[in-house]
Amino acid sequence: MARTRKFDENQALDAALRLFWEKGYVATSLQDLEKGTGLNRASIYNAFGNKRSLFKKCLTLYVGRVQAMLEGVIGTATSSREAIKNWLACVIDFQFNQETPSGCLVILSALERHQHDRETREIVTALFRREQEVIQKVLEEGVQRGEFPADFDCVGVAWAITSATSGMVVLSMADLPVSALQEVFRSTMRLLDGK
């Protein structure tokens, strides 16, 4: 009864995500999006609405992936300590992975806050909260398992680790070498040793 869509919507979304990830919301023009997705301008509007809603779809997609990666890495570890170690290593790998852009769309969006509506900002806030919660939970499990002392500050350390992941991303975006991130990594891990 009707014509089918020629392009793969997920594929186009992926391409758009990559662009926003690299240049941010404002600096990514519709011209960029046309070239990146291979779609015509009107096709983009037809499929995704306007630039704002396309961005929001990309951000949601990205957040979902990061969260899946976070929970995957944390969930498959055999100890609390290993979980944190793997997560921090994962963040570093991700920054220097050649297949994906460096940086982080969520952090970028956090800093572009003036450009976005409340709903978008809440997506950003939620990811950080979620990261802290997941880490806190794995630390609490570590306490129960006897890996950490009973009075271990799970809340505070979880926030510190969450902060450290953002900090590492910023450092890598500021052209600091891997070694700097590794120093952050090692020192952050030491938060799991003390009292």
With binding defined as CB under 8 A, does residue 35 bind its own copies?
no
* Closer to its own copies by Cβ: residue 48 or 185: 185
Tokens linked to 110 = 């956090």
* Given 17, 33, 139, 184, the residue binding its own copies (CB under 8 A): 184
* Closer to its own copies by Cβ: residue 65 or 129: 129
* Closer to its own copies by Cβ: residue 1 or 174: 174
From its own copies, DNA, none, interface partner of 1 (C-beta below 5 to 8 A by class): DNA
* Closer to its own copies by Cβ: residue 9 or 122: 122
Q: Which of 69, 107, 124 is nearest to 91 (CA)?
A: 69
With binding defined as CB under 8 A, does residue 168 bind its own copies?
yes
- The full DSSP string for the chain is --PPPSS-HHHHHHHHHHHHHHHHHHH--HHHHHHHH---HHHHHHHH-SHHHHHHHHHHHHHHHHHHHHHHHHHH-SSHHHHHHHHHHHHHHHHH-SSS-SS-HHHHHHHTGGGS-HHHHHHHHHHHHHHHHHHHHHHHHHHHTTSS-TT--HHHHHHHHHHHHHHHHHHHHTT--HHHHHHHHHHHHGGGT--
With binding defined as CB under 8 A, does residue 129 bind its own copies?
yes
With binding defined as CB under 8 A, does residue 32 bind its own copies?
no
Q: Taking CB under 8 A as the criterion, which residues in 78-117 touch its own copies? A: 103, 106-108, 110-115
In the complex, the residues that contact its own copies under the rule CB under 8 A are: 22-24, 26-27, 103, 106-108, 110-115, 121-122, 124-125, 128-129, 132, 153, 155-157, 159-160, 162-168, 170-171, 173-176, 180, 183-184, 186-188, 190-191, 193-195
